[in-house]
Structures are given as structure tokens and as C-alpha cells.
């Protein structure tokens, strides 16, 4: 049984429907933690919060947030000040509209959360079922911490999930260099054939963090006092500089048996 530890308490509002919920992050810490050490003494390296005026360490309870409105002049904001700015609407998740998820470019996705009902199961699962049946996601806004968040709420297998989104102004608009598209019809057709050959269904379980496995094995060797050796790799095929030849060889390598491309 998975125990859900609520990160935030809120409510989902759509129309006049009010559903109390809890939501918690879906991303779990991954990777291997390494400790920063002094090479000579093997002492741990610590990072201290110090006052830049006198160099003394400052306790967390004495640290406040300040906004610099002029050079070296600040106004202080206490937690209660931020809370006073939030209206009831800011503290709830207000669904503004329902849209097709295909309309949302993945570039806007930020953090995923898992949503659970807070003693409002009937309305909660009604919303989940209706959204899933209509194949729609809800676009909503709320305030998380000291930042307004744009989010989507989606339903899958009777469960609700929440994703924060970046606002349009948070995404850099980069200008691409102008390039002449002078490829031939034959090159395009071969590229499309190669894509067909390499196409398939997506299953996230097909992909594993193999580098972390290598790190774990290397740690075991280090503990045992063994040397880490570079593994032998298969010889790479010769580099092909001609695009048509590279496409042709790739198509041969990826073609399914008994099927001519």
C-alpha cells in the first residue's frame, strides 16, 4: 500500500462544484548521492548561510525575505504578509475551461502531482469519470507558495493528476537561423521510410537508468579496493559522410524481415 503524504491542501472548483483535495508531488528523488569531502582530511564540506556584512552564520529563524527597491534598501516580507495577499480564489484550484490535452505543447509542462480526495469522494470521482469519458483536461489557476501557477488537471483510470505549467512569458522565444530546405524528394522519402522502420508503441518501462547501475557497480568495486576499468566496447561501424548512403544503410539495418521498404 502506497501512503500518500499530502504536500498541499486545496480544493478543485469548476462551476459551482467544490471538491476538497490534497495533492503531493509524483517525482521521487533519484540518483546516487555523493558527499563533498576535503581530499586531505576526508572532512565533510558544509555550506553555511552567512551574513555578508560581518561573515557570521545566521540561523534559519532569523532569515527573512526582503525586496531591494533601492540599492541596499529593503522592505521585509513575513510569511503572514504573503498569506494576506491570497484571496479564497487564490487558495483554491479554479478550473477555467476544459480542453483537449493534444492542444498543450509539452514544452509548457513543469511538475507533476498526484491528487487525492479530502472527504469528498462522490464529487471527486464524478469529475474524474466525466473528464476521462469526455477525454478532456481542466485548465486551472492557483497560488502555490508565493507564485501563481497555471495547471492542468487530467484523469486516468479513475485517478486525478495535476501538472503545473510554465506561462508563455517563461519560455524563451529563440530565433532559428534561416536554412535553405534543399533536400530532394528521394531523401525525404527515405527519411520517412526510416522513421516508419523505427516506429513503435511507447512504454516507459522499456527505459531504465543504466548509468546508475554502472555507478552502483563502481561503488562496490571501490569499497572492495578494486580498480574501475573501462569496459570493452563493440567496434563502431565506419563513419558515412554521404547522406543518401547513410539513409540507405540505416533503412537496411532497420528493415523488418520479409518486408521490403
pLDDT reported for residue 105 = 94
Q: Please tell me whether residues 22 and 128 are part of one structural domain.
A: yes
pLDDT reported for residue 238 = 63
One digit per residue, pLDDT tens: the chain, 261 residues?
444 455 788 888 888 888 999 888 887 777 788 888 888 888 888 888 888 888 888 988 888 889 888 988 889 888 888 877 777 677 789 899 999 999 999 999 999 999 999 888 999 999 999 999 999 999 999 888 778 899 999 999 989 999 999 999 898 877 777 877 788 899 999 999 999 999 999 898 988 888 888 888 888 988 899 888 888 877 666 667 788 888 888 899 888 643 443
Query: Do residues 142 and 149 touch, judged by C-beta distance below 8 A?
Result: yes
Instruction: Report CA 62 to chain centroid distance, whole Å.
Output: 33
pLDDT reported for residue 258 = 39
3-state secondary structure of 11: strand
Grid coordinates belonging to 114: 498526484
The parent domain of residue 247 ranges over 185-199+208-254
Q: Please tell me whether residues 89 and 159 are part of one structural domain.
A: yes
Query: What's the CA gap between 18 and 12, in Å, rounded?
Result: 6
CATH number at residue 136: 2.40.290.10
Is residue 176 one of the residues assigned to a domain?
Answer: no
Q: Please tell me whether residues 137 and 241 are part of one structural domain.
A: no
CA atoms in the 13 A half-sphere facing the CB of 42: 0
Q: Residue holding cell 508565493?
A: 146
Is residue 103 one of the residues assigned to a domain?
Answer: yes
Region for residue 187 given its phi and psi (left: phi exceeds 0; alpha: psi -120 to 50; beta: otherwise): alpha
Query: Do residues 141 and 150 touch, judged by C-beta distance below 8 A?
Result: yes
Is residue 67 one of the residues assigned to a domain?
Answer: no
Is residue 77 one of the residues assigned to a domain?
Answer: no
CB within 8 Å of 78: residues ≥ 6 apart: 64
pTM to 2 decimals?
0.73
Is residue 70 one of the residues assigned to a domain?
Answer: no
Is residue 111 one of the residues assigned to a domain?
Answer: yes
Q: What is the dihedral of CA 87, 88, 93, 95, to 10 degrees?
A: -90
Amino acid at each position: 500500500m502506497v501512503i500518500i503524504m499530502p504536500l498541499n491542501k486545496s480544493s478543485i472548483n469548476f462551476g459551482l462544484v467544490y471538491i476538497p483535495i490534497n495533492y503531493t508531488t509524483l517525482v521521487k528523488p533519484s540518483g546516487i548521492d555523493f558527499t563533498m569531502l576535503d581530499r586531505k582530511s576526508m572532512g565533510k564540506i558544509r555550506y553555511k548561510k552567512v551574513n555578508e556584512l560581518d561573515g557570521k552564520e545566521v540561523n534559519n529563524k532569523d532569515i527573512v525575505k526582503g525586496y531591494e527597491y533601492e540599492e541596499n534598501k529593503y522592505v521585509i516580507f513575513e510569511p503572514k504578509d504573503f498569506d494576506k495577499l491570497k484571496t479564497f480564489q487564490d487558495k483554491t484550484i479554479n478550473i477555467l475551461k476544459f480542453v483537449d490535452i493534444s492542444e498543450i505543447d509539452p514544452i509548457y509542462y513543469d511538475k507533476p502531482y498526484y491528487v487525492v480526495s479530502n472527504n469528498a469522494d462522490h464529487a471527486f470521482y464524478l469529475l474524474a469519470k466525466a473528464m476521462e469519458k469526455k477525454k478532456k483536461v481542466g485548465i486551472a489557476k492557483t497560488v502555490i507558495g508565493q507564485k501563481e501557477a497555471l495547471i492542468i488537471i487530467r484523469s486516468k483510470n479513475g485517478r486525478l493528476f495535476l501538472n503545473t505549467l510554465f506561462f508563455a512569458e517563461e519560455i524563451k522565444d529563440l530565433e532559428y537561423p534561416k536554412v535553405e530546405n534543399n533536400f530532394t524528394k528521394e531523401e525525404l522519402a527515405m527519411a520517412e521510410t526510416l522513421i516508419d522502420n523505427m516506429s513503435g508503441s511507447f512504454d516507459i518501462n522499456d527505459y531504465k537508468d543504466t548509468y546508475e547501475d554502472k555507478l552502483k557497480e563502481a561503488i562496490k568495486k571501490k569499497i572492495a579496493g578494486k580498480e574501475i576499468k573501462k569496459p570493452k566496447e563493440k567496434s563502431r561501424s565506419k563513419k558515412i559522410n554521404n547522406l543518401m548512403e547513410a539513409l540507405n544503410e540505416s533503412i537496411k539495418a532497420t528493415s523488418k524481415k520479409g518486408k521490403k521498404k
